[in-house]
Structure 1
Amino acid sequence: MKPFFVCAGASVIQAPQWSAVKNMVDSWVDLELKQSRVLAKLYNAILDADALEEHIQDCAFGVLVVMMIAVRSIDYDYGQVAAASVFLELQSLLKRLEPLKDVAKEEEWWPDTHDLIIYPSLLGLSAPHDCYGSPLRFYIYELKDWTPAGNAERGVLHCQHGQWGLEALIPWWLRRGSCVTNNPEEADYFLVPWHTWCDRMIFRMNQSREPIGDISAVYLDLMRRKEELLPHWSRQLGRDHLFIFSDQGMNFFPEWRDHIAHSVFITTEALTPGCGPSCFSPWKDVVVPGHPDYYRFRRMREVNLPSEQRDLLFNFHGRHPGFGPSYYKDNVVRGKIIDIFTGVHGVSVGGFVEGYFEIMGASHFCLVPMGTSSWTNHLYESFFAGCIPVILSDNFGVPFHGDINWEDFSIKWPMHDVSMDLYYFLLSMPRDKLYRMKASVDAHACWFDYHQTLEEPGQNCSPYLGLLRSLERRRPAMDRLPGHNSFWNQKNVPGSCLCVVCAGCGREGLTLQVMI
């Protein structure tokens, strides 16, 4: 074998380990943090032995894969600076190995590197932004020792995965912008950052309510120590503080009503199951889109066909009553979709299937039924597949309704009327309207792209812009709220001390205290 492809073993990593690494070439994006930590230990062992070049000569693409996997846990465990250093080394190695790409593909050693495109910005290696010119200023608390992870800010490289990734991405994006401030006196909002769901998955935190769940315990500790951890809370009694809750997050902290009821919630849903309408106040809270993973929407974009090449009328594939009691008891609409449309010409419905992205990209419409709650990430995924969403969730509160006209590119159909009438309605849509709506879907996809990769020159839309505009509209209302002072006109309170200067006293400036 040529140099770089021997993989016979070196001083730290032996041949059997290289074989195991090779099995991760296609799955490196999806690996859990514990697997990333194993690879990080191998990489650190190579560095400690001063044997990096030795291992590159033996199995260069194996080293590359090790670094690609390890950098996520390095970011989570040691911070952004350490991860950025490793990533820069990774980029250098990738550039060095680029001429061998074809050989690496033949040897099944070439990893898909497309997802690395978002790493520079996530690691602070790209230029800061101007927050779309927003006048708002955000103060972001540094909670170094509060959560089980120790640092509520760490690990965006890993925690940005999944539909809950917005919990990590929103604080990360704000920190990179000109709208962040270290001066609390000029702050409009105070952001409390915590990757709640990410930490729950990593530390297996108990989310139950009895007696007190682990997540509740962390929040309760925060509120007990708010003078220490949230020193600016008293300015507006928390009304200018932001909390991010994704996917029923408030159910993990049921005590929120006693502690943060007046704070601003950034959430993915306007109606949280088990919590009710009181969990969302339209005058203060903001609905934001769910987060589709970068690799998922990138793959959907690749199979987004023009309207004239689409041969399916509509599709739905996902969980339904056949998957368990939560969908059998509470989700009638998904059951109707399966029962009514299975086998209908030009329709593809059912559970999870291979080629799901291709099915979406070949469909004119994507059905978006409610899940275990009113919202579902099926809506936001449909935009990257260029598939006109048909929302079948009566209580779905769509984001940014004040900034974008949902009627131009989506349909909202009543859940009780899921029948062949829906099929014939979609089938009868005039072709010119169908093509216009599809073009509008593509044009609005940028509103749901948390990684900004779809942004074209001069394009002015993103979920961050939608969030900023929503918060700008809410900001004046806080100025009209009464102040937080508990006492006033103290001079007239019996027993208080009135201090006056005695102008006629023998000593100049003598102060007398008179008890009233």
Structure 2
Amino acid sequence: MGIEFGYMSLVRVKSVLLMAGVTFALVLFAQLFELQDFKSLSSLFSAGKIEVGQDSFIYHNSSRNSTYHSVLDAANVNVADLVSTDTEVSDEIVSRVSNDKGDSEPENIKKFGDTLDDDLDPEDEFPSNDFLEFNNNTKVLGVIEDNSLKQENPPEFELQVSNYTSDRDFSPKNDIVMGPGASPPSNLQFFSTSPENLETNSRNGVNSSAPSTSTMGKDAEDMLTKNESPKILDLSNLVNDSSVSIPATKERVKEPKRMVVPISKMNDMLLSSYASYKAVKPRWSLAVDQELRNVKSMIENAATKEKDSHFDVSLYRNFSAFERSYELMEQVLKVYVYAEGERPIFHQPPLKGIYASEGWFMKQLKSNKRFLTKNLNKAHLFYLPFSSRELEIALYVPNSHSRKNLIQRLSDYVNTVKTKYDSWNRTDGADHFLVACHDWAPAETWNIMANCIRSLCNSDIKEGFRFGKDASLPETYVRSPQNPLRQLGGKAFSQRRILAFFAGSMHGYLRPILLNYWENKDPDMKIFGPLRKAKGEMTYAQYMKSSKYCICAKGYEVNSPRVVEAIFYECVPVIISDNFVPPFFETLNWESFAVFVLEKDIPNLKNILLSISKTRYRLMQQRVKRVQQHFLWHSRPMKYDVFNMILHSIWHNRVFRT
């Protein structure tokens, strides 16, 4: 009897302990759902980022935007998988839910920013988060540029962060953090925003009282909670003073003047690039060289056309030259596409998501009989058909913070081309081009493809974008490869009741500043963080369709799919991203249909928009609708659409580099 009683007591104790454990787990689970601070929650899972949605956990990583918690149990997903940033693990989670190995996802998985009714905003630049993470103690060194087009060192660097996460392999002792094997380019200057350096800057004549276009330090972080202007560097007074000494590290280094490049300066740089650029002289001549010289002369001497029944000529820098150049491209241009390279890195880019531009361009070029040639001697351009996105998925080792193996793969590919063909060696690659939308593409291609025409989504002057050689590639968010024009258009200008709209995750240093000034501060300014779907609430697409101005604020990098999305929904883009070169810059007059606001002017954002008259706004919105044709993908290319405009940018730069 005593043994039996003891046994029953033990069973009761186990039951009590089990119930206590279950209760604790339920309490913890409930608390997780009550957490509103995403940073607090993400700190519980240092390997990944989990946000609390309305009904489920949404996990973010560099490969997939999100996977809903409601399908995880059915897929037999381990908790360790949930908090992993490993691309392969994330893909495996999705593959367990569906056997579909194609491009489309099963209907029971709605990825963040990819729902059937397009109700959520695009989550752009995820992979950059693995190289640059911001937390409550983040301190950024500004990067200020001069107008030099010649850069000797690859700009593979990262911004300074004062406290690194535990898995980061950078040393916090260094004042400048760069990518593997890189050194800072000679024409870059880094500014520290620590209090002691701010004091030193003040003694050296640098005004530290106004917001800067590219720096954010402790005072900027305090601003986010105190609603004050950041006490960081104003570099405007450096323009006329080349003798200012500013500490780049702990030592004072005298550097020439540096400045953030506004859109007006970019216009000057583009024009000067044509006059200053020296073409690579071919090692031997071909008939195509003379053809290009003839084409250049015909474009330069195109008859002036001040009006056109089908175009608004004010949308273009020089409509007459553009129209003639486009006609000649259709008549003359021949492109050779290399067959070498293993899939999917080569020849199989994505047709869906924020990197879809490189996929759609490749697909449509390779099926275009008008432009393709198999004769190397007749080709004016040579296409290197790789996918920067697939390169990252296939080769990047999560948390390694190294792109060496990615760069090596591209180097091996170029060496194969050099060995097998004379085409590269004739011009050292100057008549070759690439189309890449991933954030890392500028650094990955900087040395290997130095002479090539690079069509890049991340068209950032501070990352080595060169006017007259490189082209700015539109970042187009394709939600449905079967119907890329789904939900095209928006309300008429008279029905757009919202002054300005933005919604998105807090990528980078700029968006928190934007929200600090404008989130819930003004009924005319609909500025949000991540927009969650809720019954009775407007969706992301509906906000864009109903707003006069759509804010396109940079994330980790200067580019964002919001620029093209604004045009897609016929909303006037407001671009807040210093040193960003907008798409088709050599052709389009962006200031005729878009607004450019310097980062430092975020506090004055509403006043800037209200200063635009109703007549001017109406004209700009009409021009957005007219320029829209240049940013649309069609199942088959149409005249003047985004495929042809991308090719024209590359063709244009090839012609004017002869």
TM range (shorter): 0.5 to 0.7
Alpha-carbon separation, structure 2, partners of 1:453 and 1:188: 23
Matched, 1:268 2:457: yes
Whether the aligned pair in 1 keeps the contact of 2:498 and 2:524 (CA below 8 Å) is yes
Report the 3-state secondary structure (helix = DSSP H, G, I; strand = E; otherwise coil) of the residue aligned with 2:565: helix
Tell me how far 1:179 sits from its aligned partner. Answer: 0.6
Match for residue 434 of structure 1? 617
Partner residue of 1:200 out of 389, 392, 404: 392
Matches within 5 A, 1:216-255: 216-228=407-419, 232-250=423-441, 253=444
Unaligned runs of 5+ in 1: 1-19, 25-31, 42-68, 74-110, 115-129, 321-325, 480-516
Check conservation: 1:131, 1:465, Cα contact below 8 A: no
The answer to whether the 8 Å contact 2:485/2:633 transfers is: no
Which residue of structure 1 aligns with residue 336 of structure 2?
139
Task: Provide the rounded CA distance (Å) in 1 between the counterparts of 2:540 and 2:602.
Answer: 22
Aligned twin of 1:347: 525
3-state SS of the aligned residue for 2:600? Answer: helix
Alignment match of 1:468 (pick from 625, 631, 647): 647
- Per the TM alignment, residue 434 of structure 1 is displaced from its structure 2 partner at its CA by 2.2
Unaligned ranges ≥5, structure 2: 1-70, 76-89, 105-114, 119-326, 534-538
1:301 matches 2:488? yes
Q: Deviations over 1:441-500 (max 9, x none)?
A: 112112111336896xxxx42222223332333234554xxxxxxxxxxxxxxxxxxxxx
**Comparing 389-398 with 293-302, which one deviates more in the overlay?**
293-302
Question: Partners of 2:362 and 2:605 in 1: how far apart?
Answer: 41
The amino acid that maps onto 1:291 is T
Equivalent runs, 1:20-39 vs 2, <5 Å = none
Once the two structures are TM-superposed, the CA of residue 151 in structure 1 deviates from its matched residue by 7.0
- Determine the C-alpha separation between the residues in 1 that align with 2:656 and 2:608: 43
* Structure 2 residue 364 is matched with structure 1 residue 364: no
The offset of 1:140, in angstroms, is 0.2
Q: Alpha-carbon deviation of 1:368? A: 1.3
- Aligned residue number for residue 605 of structure 2: 422
Q: Which has the higher helix share?
A: 1
Query: What's the offset of the Cα at 1:290?
Result: 0.8
Task: Tell me the SS of whatever aligns to 1:238.
Answer: coil
Q: Deviation per CA, 1:141-167: give whole Å up to 9, x if none.
A: 012xx34x367213x5xx111221222
Match of 2:131 in 1: none
Report the TM-score, using the length of structure 1 for normalisation. 0.59
Mark the structure with the bigger radius of gyration. 1
Counterpart position of 2:372 = 180
Residues 182-218 of structure 1 deviation map (CA, whole Å, 9 limit, x = unaligned): 00000011111112313533x3633888776331231
Give identity over the alignment, percent.
Answer: 19
CA distance in 2, matches of 1:430, 1:152: 49
**Aligned partners of 1:453, 1:241: CA distance in 2, in Å?**
25
Structure 2 match to 1:338: 515
Q: Deviations over 1:7-47 (max 9, x none)?
A: xxxxxxxxxxxxx9xx99xxxxxxx9768978997xxxxxx
Deviation at 1:402, TM superposition (A): 3.2
Tell whether the 8 Å contact from 2:433 to 2:650 is kept in structure 1 after alignment.
Answer: no
Tell me if structure 2 keeps the 8 A contact 1:317–1:352: yes
Take 2:426 and 2:98, find their aligned partners in 1: how far apart are those partners? 44
Aligned to 2:137: none
Does residue 562 of structure 2 align to residue 378 of structure 1? yes
The 8 Å contact of residues 207 and 252 in structure 1, kept in 2 or not, is answered as no
TM-score by length of 2: 0.47
Residue-pair matches, total:
344
Q: 1:131 to 1:317 in 2, by over 3 A?
A: farther
Retained in 1: the 8 A contact 2:338–2:383?
Answer: yes
Matches within 5 A, 1:283-298: 283-295=468-480, 298=485
Alignment correspondent of 2:360: 169
In the TM superposition, what whole-angstrom CA distance separates every residue of 1:228-272 from its partner, at most 9, and x where no partner exists? 455522121211111223233335627x42x32112111113317
* Corresponding residue of 1:153: 347
Do the aligned partners of 1:379 and 1:389 also contact (CA within 8 Å) in 2? yes
Give 1:470's aligned amino acid: S
Equivalent position amino acid for 1:135 in 2: V
Give the alignment partner of residue 313 of structure 1, picking from 469, 478, 499.
Answer: 499
1:390–1:413 contact (8 Å) kept in structure 2:
yes
Report the secondary structure of 1:461's partner residue: coil
Q: Which has the higher contact order (CA 8 A, sep 6+)?
A: 2
CA gap of 1:389–1:137, structure 2 versus 1, over 3 A, is: same
- CA offsets 1:43-98 (integer angstroms, 9 cap, x no match): xxxxxxxxxxxxxxxxxxxxxxxxxx56548xxxxxxxxxxxxxxxxxxxxxxxxx
Contact 2:441 2:456 in 1 (8 A): no
Q: Which AA in structure 2 matches 1:373? A: E
Residue 250 of structure 2 aligns with which residue? none
* Offset at residue 351 of structure 1 (A): 1.2
Q: 1:413 to 1:474 in 2, by over 3 A?
A: same
Whether contact under 8 Å (1:243, 1:263) holds in the other structure is yes
CA RMSD, Structure 1 to Structure 2 (Å): 3.5
Q: Is the 8 A contact 1:213 1:252 kept in 2?
A: no
For the 8 Å contact 1:299–1:357, the answer to whether it is kept is no
Deviation at 1:408, TM superposition (A): 2.0
How far did 1:394 drift?
2.2
Distance 1:403 1:316, change over 3 A: same
